[in-house]
Amino acid sequence: MTKTVTDFQKMKDQGEKIVMVTAYDYAMGKAVAQSAVDLILIGDSVGMAVLGYETTLDVDVEQMIHHSMATRRGAPDTFIVCDMPFMSYHNPEVAKENAADLIVLGKANAVKLEGGTPSRIAAIEAIVDCEIPVCGHIGLTPQSVHRFGGYKVQGKSSDAHTELIRQALAIQEAGAFMLVLEGIPELLGKEISEQLRIPTIGIGAGRYTDGQVLVLQDMLGFTAKPAKFVKVYAELEKLSIEALDAYASEVKDGSFPAEKNTYYPIK
């Protein structure tokens, strides 16, 4: 049965960790749906992990809908959060239209957007007012890569620490049901998680958030130089190359296809 926003709140209240992972297509949606993972994020990381872009900034709403729909077909009963891509939520009216498209066309259950400044708070309020659940995302927000001057840990100075706590509380106040904390010191991840009523999901935010999220391609070994916060649970790129080499070698030496792979083989 599909978990709901109420279930995620109960998990936080009862101290049960929440497990989120990204997925972008039917096959991986199906795999995640059969696992113990609680919810799926259709991350705009699809731009880098799947489409080969340099950053997430090239992804648009249509692409997010495409990947969300595909994942939904593989995971019909899993709660799906779909990322709002760069510049798709920077004024409340546009944000409402795009969020509605991700829900209605993309078949997601909720949307996620980056940042906690006043214009983002206005966007969260506008989307929640349309009865669409919103997940916030602060810290090392990848859509801010150029302003940050790279993928750098955020919230290190005392001022930045205080500002991120302020943003987290404002996001909760605006009606978000969940908050992703990315690339921040562990102490800040812990303090925000303790101060918020809603669940926090960490990625590079230490051990004390209410749940964790990883990018699927990172944890399955498809990323050349994964970040410090990544744990690689399977080396699937390596396994794929080995399988492809075995296939190529068998085609070349004539051992594939064998008789058992052949229709009406010649006797």
- 8 Å CB contact between 101 and 61: yes
| 172 token code pair | 């909760």
| CA–CA dist 82, 208 (Å, integer) | 24
Could you say whether residue 22 binds ligand KIV (CB under 6 A)?
yes
Question: Closest CB to ligand KIV among 182 and 252?
Answer: 182
| CA–CA dist 69, 55 (Å, integer) | 22
Q: Which stretch binds ligand KIV (CB under 6 A): 28-36, 39-47, 66-74, 118-126?
A: 39-47
Could you say whether residue 29 binds ligand KIV (CB under 6 A)?
no
Could you say whether residue 210 binds ligand KIV (CB under 6 A)?
no
Contacts 24+ apart (CB under 8 A), 12-21: 12/198, 12/199, 12/210, 17/210, 17/211, 17/212, 18/199, 18/201, 18/210, 18/211, 18/212, 19/211, 19/212, 20/81, 20/201, 20/211, 20/212, 20/213, 21/213, 21/214, 21/215, 21/216, 21/219
Question: Closest CB to ligand KIV among 43 and 74?
Answer: 43
Q: Which stretch binds ligand KIV (CB under 6 A): 23-31, 41-49, 92-100, 227-235?
A: 41-49
Could you say whether residue 45 binds ligand KIV (CB under 6 A)?
yes
Catalytic position from the list 125, 182, 191, 242: 182
Active site residue 16: no
Where does the chain have alpha helices with state H?
5-13, 26-33, 46-49, 61-74, 92-104, 118-129, 145-148, 158-173, 186-195, 216-219, 236-253
Could you say whether residue 108 binds ligand KIV (CB under 6 A)?
no
Could you tell me how many residues of this chain bind ligand KIV (CB under 6 A)?
12
The residue from 25, 38, 44, 101 that contacts ligand KIV (CB under 6 A) is 44
The residue from 23, 38, 43, 184 that contacts ligand KIV (CB under 6 A) is 43
Residue nearest to ligand KIV (CB): 43
Question: Closest CB to ligand KIV among 153 and 215?
Answer: 215
Site for ligand KIV in 168-197 (CB under 6 A): 180, 182
Point out which residues bind ligand KIV (CB under 6 A): 22, 41, 43-45, 83, 137, 180, 182, 203, 213, 215
